[in-house]
A = this chain, B = another copy of it.
Amino acid sequence: MGDITVGIDVGGTKIQAAAARDQEIIGTFRLATPQSGARDVAAAIVAAATAALAETEAHPSEVRGVGIGAPGTIDTGAGTVSSSPNLPGFQASAPVPLGTMVSEGLGGAPVTIDNDVRVAILGEWKRGAGRSYRNLLGVWVGTGVGGGLILNGEPYHGQGAAGEIGHIIVKPGGRVCSDGRKGHLEAYAGRGRMEVYARELHEGGRKTDLFKIMEKKGRTRMSSGVIADALEEGDKLAAELIEGAAWALSVGLATVQNLLSLEAIVIGGGLGDRLGAPFVERIAREMEPLLFVGDEPPKMLTTEHGDLSGAVGGAVLAGG
């Protein structure tokens, strides 16, 4: 058995692979996620892993394990994925044995799968911005808002679903969230709900270039790039959306900090990484007056690996 691990971050639009040796990334590869079903997604994962390995001087037999972060409902024991709305072939509630499929394509290497956000936060905790913290929250701001907790120096899962910071209540009776309930953090800070809200306002007569920019960029969704471009052009609605997101994050993270007395909070995800340090600093500034113990604020961090966090975490998950 070799000393190389491979991490894979599987998203609805792209698959990112990273090969690691001695805690160092030595090869990476990215390709588009096939939209044609589970078998093709598994084959693309194998192809991405193989290409990342090809960048190294290692022989495939040196691979000790493969770790995959995937969206949806994961059975970590069985290595299956189900109920994943944005992953073609995995939308149904019937579990797809992705672990076995990928293992077969990679000569029988052991494959471990976990939730994509958790895996990315594992990457930042073990090999990135969160190194050295025993009590850490990761907040992944993208289409939704996901999270993961490291408490007393180990990942915390509770009964299984811990870390769902997108669904903490920041404003009772407020905006409708992706799960239909009201006033959740994600209803303000998730890109998906921002788009719904912006569209409602736009249809009600509110001026914005957001949807023009979407069209010009050939996007069907309000991506982080679309929002960033609109902000750069001085679009007022885009600025308001981000203001709302920062407000909701400051309230939600103050609540979590007052409860958990964390050492650090790392903010990542597509939108979090795109808006970067100025966004994180803004949240920290707005959060500060809301902290109960003001002299122990959490360190507020951006990710170290950006959109590679998930693949790095996958390599950690595989034992690397």
State the A residues within 8 Å of B (CB): 135, 147, 149, 151-152, 154, 156-165, 167-172, 179, 181, 251, 254-256, 258-263, 289-290, 292-293, 296
When the two chains form their complex, are residues B171 and A172 in contact, meaning their CB atoms are under 8 A apart? yes
Which of chain B's residues have a CB closer than 8 A to the CB of A170?
169, 172
How many Å lie between the Cα of A156 and that of B134 in the bound state? 11
Which of chain B's residues have a CB closer than 8 A to the CB of A156?
151-152, 260
Given A159-B296, A172-B170, A181 contacting B259 (CB threshold 8 A): no
When the two chains form their complex, are residues B260 and A158 in contact, meaning their CB atoms are under 8 A apart? yes
How many Å lie between the Cα of A55 and that of B147 in the bound state? 52
How many Å lie between the Cα of A149 and that of B158 in the bound state? 12
Which of chain B's residues have a CB closer than 8 A to the CB of A171?
171-172
When the two chains form their complex, are residues B161 and A292 in contact, meaning their CB atoms are under 8 A apart? yes
Closest CB-CB distance, A307 to chain B, in whole Å?
25
Which of chain B's residues have a CB closer than 8 A to the CB of A179?
292
Which of chain B's residues have a CB closer than 8 A to the CB of A135?
158-159
Which of chain B's residues have a CB closer than 8 A to the CB of A162?
259-261
Main secondary structure of the interface of A (DSSP, over half): loop
Q: List 10 A-B contacts (CB under 8 A).
A: A135-B159, A151-B152, A152-B154, A156-B260, A161-B293, A162-B260, A169-B251, A181-B289, A181-B292, A255-B255
Given A151-B152, A156-B152, A181-B290, A163 contacting B259 (CB threshold 8 A): yes
When the two chains form their complex, are residues B261 and A168 in contact, meaning their CB atoms are under 8 A apart? no
Closest CB-CB distance, A79 to chain B, in whole Å?
22
Which of chain B's residues have a CB closer than 8 A to the CB of A169?
170, 251, 254-255, 258, 290
* Interface-centre pick from A171, A261, A262 (highest chain B CB count, 10 A): A261
How many Å lie between the Cα of A154 and that of B135 in the bound state? 14
How many Å lie between the Cα of A263 and that of B162 in the bound state? 11
When the two chains form their complex, are residues B255 and A168 in contact, meaning their CB atoms are under 8 A apart? yes
Which of chain B's residues have a CB closer than 8 A to the CB of A161?
261, 292-293, 296
When the two chains form their complex, are residues B159 and A263 in contact, meaning their CB atoms are under 8 A apart? yes
When the two chains form their complex, are residues A262 and B152 in contact, meaning their CB atoms are under 8 A apart? no
Closest CB-CB distance, A217 to chain B, in whole Å?
33
Which of chain B's residues have a CB closer than 8 A to the CB of A181?
289-290, 292
Which of chain B's residues have a CB closer than 8 A to the CB of A154?
152
Given A170-B172, A290-B181, A258 contacting B160 (CB threshold 8 A): no
How many Å lie between the Cα of A157 and that of B261 in the bound state? 7
Which of chain B's residues have a CB closer than 8 A to the CB of A262?
158-159
Which of chain B's residues have a CB closer than 8 A to the CB of A256?
259
Closest CB-CB distance, A36 to chain B, in whole Å?
32
Partner pick for A261 among B160, B260, B261, CB 8 A cutoff: B160
When the two chains form their complex, are residues B259 and A168 in contact, meaning their CB atoms are under 8 A apart? yes
When the two chains form their complex, are residues A159 and B292 in contact, meaning their CB atoms are under 8 A apart? no
